[in-house]
Structure 1
């Protein structure tokens, strides 16, 4: 499956405050805009090669609660637990073919769904999203997939200034995820992405099983019951920072390597 890591979704009541916290650390971060059909708005921080963190908040509760898009439904449900990371997405350049591949592997794709956001400069951004029905009995949550209506090279050229940061040349290295059944979660992701056996490692959160997909490492940690299956930390490497930031229910770990 030919995909690249696209973005990590961080649910927060105040995306603008998360943006400000990153700016204070020397990151370039921007106000994104409103998703009128979803009742949400966001702020963004981009990294080479074309990945980003999305801080997303609810602007219109009535619209968000009625929205049928699985991403927004998940955000509304996660909001009951509080702020924190929610989901992550992989980018594809052929979402229809991806749906066919998923079906051939026994998965049930949901969508595609269309999405749009109008930037402050008036430009309308559009994309398509594809989700997967849970077949793990809640052992983990699957990522979703996104196809932008502009080519990667066009987006790379336009977003290049936003990938320059005063604190170095940072990139998103890993996402740590809690799962309820470690073996089942890892095997489901291996089947999804055609991956070899997971590596075992240890970091600040303890022992994890690691799979590398689309340029990022996914680190799966067994959750103590009862617990959610949300991502709980991400590592950003390549900056001059050596610190840990607890921000709106999510943990950011910054290091040179």
Structure 2
């Protein structure tokens, strides 16, 4: 399946505060916009290869609870546990082909579902989202897929200025994810993306199994100390400074090339 990593979703009560904090650390970040039909709004920080972090907040809880979008339903559920990373998405230029791939490999696709918002300059951004029916019994989370209304070349031209940061050239390189059943999660992701066996390693967060997907590394850690299946760690590389940033339930590891 031909996909590229698109973005990491970070649930927070105040996206604008996360944006300000990242700006103070030397990153370029922007206000995104509102999603009236979902009851949410966001702020963004962009990196090389059209990857970005989305800080998303719930502005209208009733709309969020009833909108019918699986991502927003996940955010509403995660909100009971608290702020932090919630989901991540892979980009495709043929969402219909991805849906067909899912069916062939025993998954049940949900969608594509439409999405849109208006930028500050008045341009209306559109996209389609594709989800996977949850058959995991709560052991891990599937990602979702997104196809943008504009092509990668158009988006690259528009977003290029936002990928330059005072702290240095940067790339989102890996995501750490908790799972309650490591073997089952790895088997499902290998089947989903057609991947070889994982690489095993250990770091400050513990032992992990790593899969390379869409240009980044997904590192799966067994959640032996708390019942969670949320992403918890995001690594950013290429910076001039090295630091660990804890913000609104999420951990960002910033490192040099």
- TM-score for the superposition, normalised by structure 2: 0.98
* Maintained 8 Å contact 1:9/1:55: yes
> How far apart, CA to CA, are the structure 1 residues paired with 2:241 and 2:53?
17
> How far apart, CA to CA, are the structure 2 residues paired with 1:172 and 1:42?
19
1:59 aligns with 2:59: yes
Following TM superposition, by how much is the alpha carbon of 1:138 offset from its aligned partner in structure 2, in angstroms? 1.8
* Maintained 8 Å contact 1:89/1:146: yes
> How far apart, CA to CA, are the structure 2 residues paired with 1:138 and 1:62?
25
> How far apart, CA to CA, are the structure 2 residues paired with 1:226 and 1:200?
22
Q: Equivalent residue of 1:239, what SS?
A: coil
1:195 aligns with 2:215: no
Q: Equivalent residue of 1:93, what SS?
A: coil
- Please identify, of 130-139 and 118-127, the stretch whose mean Cα deviation from structure 2 is larger: 130-139
Which structure 1 segments of 5+ residues have no match?
A: none
Q: Equivalent residue of 2:170, what SS?
A: strand
> How far apart, CA to CA, are the structure 1 residues paired with 2:208 and 2:176?
9
Between the two proteins, the alignment pairs up a number of residues equal to 257
Counting only pairs closer than 5 Å after superposition, residues 164-179 of structure 1 correspond to structure 2 as 164-179=164-179
> How far apart, CA to CA, are the structure 1 residues paired with 2:65 and 2:135?
25
Correspondence for 1:21: 21
Following TM superposition, by how much is the alpha carbon of 1:136 offset from its aligned partner in structure 2, in angstroms? 2.4
State the superposition RMSD in angstroms.
Answer: 0.8
> How far apart, CA to CA, are the structure 2 residues paired with 1:232 and 1:241?
21
Correspondence for 2:149: 149
> How far apart, CA to CA, are the structure 1 residues paired with 2:241 and 2:124?
34
> How far apart, CA to CA, are the structure 1 residues paired with 2:122 and 2:61?
24
Q: Equivalent residue of 1:57, what SS?
A: strand
* Maintained 8 Å contact 1:180/1:225: no
Correspondence for 2:12: 12
> How far apart, CA to CA, are the structure 2 residues paired with 1:225 and 1:253?
21
> How far apart, CA to CA, are the structure 2 residues paired with 1:211 and 1:42?
29
Correspondence for 1:45: 45
* Maintained 8 Å contact 1:244/1:254: yes
- TM-score for the superposition, normalised by structure 1: 0.98
* Maintained 8 Å contact 1:136/1:188: no
Q: Equivalent residue of 2:191, what SS?
A: helix
Correspondence for 2:131: 131
Q: Equivalent residue of 1:169, what SS?
A: coil
> How far apart, CA to CA, are the structure 2 residues paired with 1:226 and 1:85?
15
> How far apart, CA to CA, are the structure 2 residues paired with 1:19 and 1:204?
26
> How far apart, CA to CA, are the structure 1 residues paired with 2:224 and 2:41?
32
Correspondence for 1:229: 229
